[in-house]
Amino acid sequence: MFGCEGLCRFLMKSSGTTELNAFYPIRPECQGDVPAPRFKPRAGKTLSQRRWQASFSEDGHLDIAKVLRRIQRGGVHPSIKGEVWEFLLGCYDPNSSLEERNELKQRRRGQYDMWKAECQKMVPVIGSGKFITTPLVDDEGRPIDPSLVTVHTSDKKVLQWLQLLHQIGLDVVRTDRALVFYESEVNQAKLWDVLSVYAWLDNDIGYVQGMNDICSPIIILIENEADCYWCFDRAMRRMRENFRCSASSMGVQSQLATLSQIIKTVDPKLHHHLEDLDGGEYLFAFRMLMVLFRREFSFADTLYLWELMWGMEYNPNIFINYEDPDAKTKGPSPVNDKVLKQYGKFERKNVKTGYTEENCALAVFLVASVLEIKNRRILNEAKGVDDVVKILGDITSNLDAKKACTEALKIQKKYLSKAKKA
């Protein structure tokens, strides 16, 4: 039998597909419908378990600059993705010690347990290893099945949350169904629990379809449920506004408007063509931005894409900005060449140019890069928005994540240069 480190070394030398199937096994009946992943861990490029461990000092401080270089070169090995993502998403400060992180982790786990217990008092099925897919209450807030709901309330917050829980359950059933991991009801319930607690705590947005697609990989990669919650919470800090919806607007529209401005600036001919097709609002890119390309890439390639993006967007102030929101108002710290190395490539460019547009995430430039890749076909073949959707649909499983990110960085550079001259 292999130990964890031995398995890691063996898999790094084995074929990429074999390795990924070991970490994210596909149900036999689904294997013919799931595209083969393009991502393959590569020795010397991918951040391995050995290099990850070597990036920590004796007391646990992380050399984040070294880690970012490796991630941007070849992604993260599946055996350590979860713990690496916790740093990329700002759960932990690279400048903290192992002891400090363990203290923070225990405190957060206790906090999550309290929140979950609060939810369990209202809906006992939470935390039971099971979940629900049918409505719990009627429109008046009366329990449909009193054995499932222990509270009868007219409180708006409680009522709205109770009305969300079965929709979360229905989405859980549809989430990553091809993976063996979700054949287990306990694993599905873990996803439902995290989304349910998050919806209870987020008084403003709650739960919106698509959050399940963002949360699912985290559930698979991180064993402890409380740690999953905090990692998902940090992921949502980056994406939350995309899920803000009203009767007349969607949160993601602000990013679509930025996408429109980028294409108008770097490729006016393509932008005008899309406008002529009534596609000037770029709604055809809605799904890509909403769930970060989950539909355009295989599961393994999605994880690779996300860590490339988060690595390129990394800002060393992310942890303190989340822990202490007032820190943002104090202004940025002085940045020298040594500090700049602790930023990802994308964020480093923004810092150097002083660009601070909030809706200009790397994902927006990534969509722009896809449009540029399909530029000729769109200009020559698209006679309507449906044609644009079809052309973009052809990228599914045919897009190289690293090349797309590299192109996105080129478009960012071009856009910032032109915007500065304007």
Over residues 159-187, the pLDDT tens digits come to 999 999 999 999 999 999 999 999 999 99
Q: What is the mean pLDDT of residues 74-91?
A: 97
pLDDT beyond 60 at 421: yes
Average pLDDT, the chain: 90
The pLDDT > 70 percentage for the chain reads: 92
What are 70's two structure tokens? 């490796």
List the one residue out of 308, 256, 302 whose CA is nearest residue 283. Answer: 256
The answer to whether 70 touches 81, Cβ cutoff 8 Å, is: no
Looking at residue 114, its amino acid is M
The answer to whether 284 touches 392, Cβ cutoff 8 Å, is: yes
The answer to whether 365 touches 409, Cβ cutoff 8 Å, is: yes
Cα–chain-centroid distance for residue 261? 24
For the chain, what is the largest distance between any 2 Cα atoms, rounded to a whole number of angstroms? Answer: 65
The pLDDT > 90 percentage for the chain reads: 70
- Can you point out the beta strands (E) in 127-208? none
pLDDT confidence tier of residue 333, bands split at 50, 70 and 90: low
What are 315's two structure tokens? 């800002």
Q: Residue 169's pLDDT is what?
A: 98
Q: Which has more pLDDT, 156 or 187?
A: 187
- Cβ neighbours for 388, distance < 8 A, ≥ 6 positions apart: 274, 277, 279, 284, 378, 382
List the one residue out of 274, 250, 252 whose CA is nearest residue 263. Answer: 274
pLDDT beyond 70 at 350: yes
Q: What is the C-alpha end-to-end distance of the chain, expressed in Å?
A: 63
pTM above 0.85, yes or no: yes
d(CA 137, CA 149): 8
Q: What is the mean pLDDT of residues 92-112?
A: 98
